[in-house]
Amino acid sequence: MGIIGTSIKPFTATAFQAGKDFFDVTDEDVKGKWAVFFFYPADFTFVCPTELEDLGEKYAMLQDMDVEVYAVSTDTHFSHKAWHDTSDKIAKLNFPFLGDQNHVLARNFDVLREGVGLADRATFVVDPDGVIQIMEQTCEGVGRNANELTRKIKAAQYVRANPGQVCPAAWEEGSETLAPSLDLVGKI
């Protein structure tokens, strides 16, 4: 997939978020802050609620980092609300769930399983300019890790704020970074 470094495409999706009326989210709403698009195959399934709950445990921290989270499936916003109202795990979540029943977002991010109508399990991190900086995609049976996602977002934010610096493998906030140069060639 050649999607890293590209701008998100135009979209409008209706969202469900606990404690709010349904509302629309557009590509323009996303710009100006960091965003996570967290695609999952379907509401009322098995791996999805475990990884959404894991992500929900990091939501306050992500908000403090100026990151908004959007959970996305090809279900409707009505289905998202019904799932929220019937699942203990989903009821705890405070981030918006975007309905993508027309498959616009899943196609825009190239994660739609054509002929099946479901999105793949995939995560995209979008910077404040609307440019995709990070993506992760796994098979249906493998859930994602919110700790690792948070680490990658911190690294992306660091690199953006510190031009000329890069974060090596397993970098954690406060750890040493690298300044790529000819002096480092063959020494790492």
Do the domain assignments include residue 90?
yes
Give me 129's structure tokens: 């300019």
Do the domain assignments include residue 152?
yes
pLDDT of 23 higher than 60: yes
Task: Tell me the whole-structure pTM to 2 decimals.
Answer: 0.95
Do the domain assignments include residue 7?
no
Do the domain assignments include residue 4?
no
Do the domain assignments include residue 3?
no
CATH code of the domain covering residue 124: 3.40.30.10
Q: Active-site positions?
A: 48
Q: How confident is the model at residue 180 (pLDDT cuts 50, 70, 90)?
A: confident
What residues have CB less than 8 Å from 116, skipping those under 6 apart? Answer: none
H/E element, 89 = helix 88-91
Do the domain assignments include residue 1?
no
What residues have CB less than 8 Å from 30, skipping those under 6 apart? Answer: 8, 68, 70, 126, 130
Q: What percent of the chain has pLDDT over 90?
A: 93
Give the three-state DSSP class for 153: helix
Q: Number of structural domains, the chain?
A: 1
H/E element, 61 = helix 59-64
- Cα 150 from Cα 172, distance rounded (Å): 10
Q: Which domain holds residue 131?
A: 12-184
Do the domain assignments include residue 170?
yes
Do the domain assignments include residue 121?
yes
Instruction: Quick: pLDDT tens for 112-145.
Output: 999 999 999 999 999 999 999 999 999 989 999 9
CB 105 within 8 A of CB 13: yes
